[in-house]
Structure 1
């Protein structure tokens, strides 16, 4: 989470555009920035999991059998002028790549909200969500800072035992071994290439800059590792 905020700072201060794909080393709940962290909203199956709070909004995400991405775009890029279009611009290449693997994913097309929003993001519905066989498999959320935007998203690949009511993309396909190995690396590379073409910016694979590492470490110490940040009530 600290790295993603550091990339947003790079977008805002240094006019850099960044795309990051990553996974989690243990099942973890990430709370949306504005989300309450209340005991009565916790389900027995996931309430004991580690928690962090994201910079972006939306519902909590159970990061288990999934891919997480963050995309930071500076104020100078046309996409920063229309946050709704940013969702579509990032999600469409994902649809195209998954279709090439025989996975027919589509935009939901309609939104639905209840008076008491579900705690987990994958129980909520937005028209820009991606669905597979009627089930949500990708949702995204944003945060703006000085004109720059960071967008987070989670692509659900397999059903988690902590949330068995949310089917993943690969549940109907015998690809568990592939999922664990080369398939995810290939998928992230294909997503990155497709997004690069969509936003008309060249793709350059590189590590974090020294400045980004320094900012991320400071944010980790002073914000993201503190219980007061994770558990605060909005």
Structure 2
């Protein structure tokens, strides 16, 4: 019998809401108050998300403020992402979920296999990186200029950026698939001398015919196929939304959380 997961197909949402809801869902899933959850969403305005440990001075705060680009800090680690037109996802599981493993790389590999299949269904010939790649972009603060183990690449270009936050009773993984991006903004946001034009590739640049909705459909089908699960299409619960409001107010919109590192 297939296990039941929840799929939340969200719309373009506020950046602070996006981060707060992901954490709220993760908390409720780990308490067994909600099914393991795949949430797919996007952003209602171009935004920057920082990794949990990342220093704020790695991006140009003044440029972001001047151009009304919100800055949020993720609960997960990794490097900064400029969210423009993208498909963003979060996966929340508890320790009873089959995908959960005490080994970080095992969990990453399972999820990478799912997205690999999703892209094959979308007629994109991608690969799974088998090791951390060393190159002259290694010190870049931008997520898509560093490729690590079990990440999806297309002709050497990283096309999904992902990171996990792990607890003893589960994990939250967040990830981003850029469809199109303003590379002029990238140049100003990230204080790096590296040329973004030649080191970052978006889905629309690879295959302009792939739609966001079709890719979402392929992601959902690939989760069900590889994990042998059944999705129920649902929305966040009242309790999850109530905690989300508290997290926005007391954490994600709080300058101490965003700028303290």
TM-score of Structure 1 vs Structure 2, range by shorter chain: 0.7 to 0.9
* Stretch of structure 1 that moved more, 105-114 or 59-68: 105-114
Structure 1 residue runs without a partner (length 5+): none
1:28 offset after TM fit, Å?
Answer: 0.6
Are positions 1:28 and 2:47 aligned together? Answer: yes
Tell me what 1:87 maps to: 108
Contact 1:137/1:157 (8 A) holds in 2 = no
Q: SS at the partner of 1:85?
A: helix
1:12·1:145 contact (CA, 8 Å) conserved in 2?
no
- Structure 2 residue aligned with 1:149, among 171, 175, 188? 171
Q: Are residue 42 (structure 1) and residue 59 (structure 2) matched?
A: yes
Query: If the length of structure 1 is used for normalisation, what is the TM-score?
Result: 0.88
Q: Does 1:229 align with 2:257?
A: yes
| RMSD of aligned alpha carbons | 2.2
Whether contact under 8 Å (2:137, 2:146) holds in the other structure is no
Question: What is the alpha-carbon distance in structure 1 between the residues aligned to residue 247 and residue 259 of structure 2?
Answer: 16
2:83 maps to 1:55:
no
Do structure 1's residue 194 and structure 2's residue 194 form an aligned pair? no
The structure richer in strand per residue is 2
Question: Could you tell me how far 1:222 is from its partner in structure 2?
Answer: 0.8
Matches within 5 A, 1:43-122: 47-48=64-65, 49-81=69-101, 82-112=103-133, 117-122=139-144
Tell me the number of residue pairs that the alignment of Structure 1 and Structure 2 aligns: 225
Q: Deviations over 1:58-101 (max 9, x none)?
A: 00111112111000011112332233222222222222222232
SS in 2 for 1:52: strand
Matches within 5 A, 1:168-183: 168-175=202-209, 183=211
Cα separation, 2, equivalents of 1:229 and 1:159: 26
CA contact (8 A) 1:60 1:119 kept: yes
> 1:202 is paired with a residue of what secondary structure?
strand
Segments of structure 2 that go 5 or more residues without pairing to the other structure are 1-18, 187-195
Following TM superposition, by how much is the alpha carbon of 1:115 offset from its aligned partner in structure 2, in angstroms? Answer: 10
d(CA) in 2 for partners of 1:205, 1:169 = 26
- Separation in structure 2 between the aligned mates of residue 10 and residue 44 of structure 1, nearest angstrom: 33
